[in-house]
């Protein structure tokens, strides 16, 4: 088996500007070791999705470098080592049936038909969506689409998984299943979420972004319990970290 590199994701002085929107990412430096689960939090427009698209090679950095599993990312090329679960499932799902959509990644990796089928079965079983296999994607509910998107990412068996708002639109049971799924496995996870309780449960480390900069990076409990820091960047300390005042019985 090949050795794991010393970092799963490494950003060196990463900057990104959209043609009509400069400095969306400003000098980001970050090293995530293999197997770490990292939560990326920050207000709307902080640059989380832009960062994800830079890590996956969908966007080309204006300057700086991105490495995934020790290799420089080449924008525009397919890298099965890293999979992104998009914030909007409709940006990710485009095949007629669920089965075909989940098979798309493995098929592009040049696997045999039997290997592809095996991976699709495994991924759909892992997310508990085997019963959706033959359904047309455009008939699925938002929550079902998200679950299928996750299966599509898992089917590539990437070493690095990036989730953009994975619990949005999920009901209580599906969200709980997602949390269990995120906590198992040894892949590196980078999860952007406004669901701070999910981040707290799943991630050992938290990176807080605001206005294109990393403003804090450290143990999840430490960062998220810092009320002044959280408030200063439009966040709230998760309720589970606030000592509860139980209502008095009269
Ligand atoms: N294609 C684009 N062209 C120009 N500006 C863009 C484009 N996409 C995003 N932006 C801008 O870049 C900034 C960062 O957006 P991004 O979607 O990365 O933030 P985010 O942290 O993921 O936000 P959210 O929490 O709302 O999903 C925002 O100001 C947004 O308006």
Tell me the per-residue pLDDT of 39-71, one tens digit each, with 9 for 90 and over: 999 999 999 999 999 999 999 999 999 999 999
pLDDT, averaged across the chain: 92
Determine contact, residues 60/140, Cβ cutoff 8 Å: no
Distance of CA 46 to the CA centre of its chain: 16
What is the CA(51)–ligand 1 centre distance, in A? 10
Residue whose token pair is 């403003």: 215
**pLDDT confidence band for 13 (50 / 70 / 90):** very high
Please write the tens of the pLDDT for every residue from 180-221.
Answer: 999 988 999 999 999 999 999 999 999 999 999 999 999 999
Residue 40 Cα to ligand 1 middle (Å): 15
Asked whether the ipTM of the predicted complex exceeds the cut of 0.95, the reply is yes
**b/e 35-45 (16+ beta carbons within 10 angstroms → b):** ebbbbbbbeee
Closest by CA position to 55, among listed 75, 37, 35, 40: 75
Q: Where are the alpha helices (DSSP H) in 81-141?
A: 98-108, 113-126
What is the set of domains in the chain, with CATH numbers? 1-81+159-235 (3.40.50.300), 83-157 (no CATH)
Residue 21 CA to ligand 1 center (angstroms) comes to: 9
Helices (H), 109-166: 113-126, 142-154
- The pLDDT of residue 190 is 98
Give the Cβ contact number of residue 105 at 10 Å. Answer: 24
């Amino acid at each position: 088996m090949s050795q794991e590199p010393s970092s799963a994701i490494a950003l060196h002085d990463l900057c990104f500007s959209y043609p009509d929107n400069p400095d969306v990412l400003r000098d980001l430096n970050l090293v995530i070791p293999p197997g770490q689960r990292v939560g990326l939090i920050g207000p709307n427009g902080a640059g989380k999705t832009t960062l994800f698209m830079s890590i996956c090679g969908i966007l080309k950095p204006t300057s700086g470098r991105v490495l995934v599993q020790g290799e420089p990312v080449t924008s525009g090329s397919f890298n099965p080592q890293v999979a992104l679960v998009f914030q909007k499932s409709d940006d990710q799902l485009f095949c007629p049936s669920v089965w075909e959509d989940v098979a798309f990644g493995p098929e592009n990796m040049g696997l045999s038909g039997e290997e592809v089928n095996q991976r699709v079965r495994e991924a759909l079983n892992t997310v508990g969506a085997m019963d959706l296999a033959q359904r047309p994607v455009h008939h699925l509910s938002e929550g079902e689409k998200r679950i299928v998107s996750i299966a599509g990412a898992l089917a590539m068996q990437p070493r690095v998984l990036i989730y953009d708002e994975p619990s949005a639109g999920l009901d209580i049971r599906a969200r709980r299943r997602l949390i269990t799924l995120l906590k198992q496995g040894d892949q590196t996870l980078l999860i952007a979420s406004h669901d701070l309780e999910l981040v707290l449960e799943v991630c050992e480390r938290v990176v807080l972004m605001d206005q294109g900069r990393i403003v804090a990076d450290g143990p999840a409990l430490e960062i998220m319990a810092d009320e002044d820091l959280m408030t200063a960047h439009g966040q709230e300390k998760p309720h589970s970290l606030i000592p509860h005042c139980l209502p008095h019985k009269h």
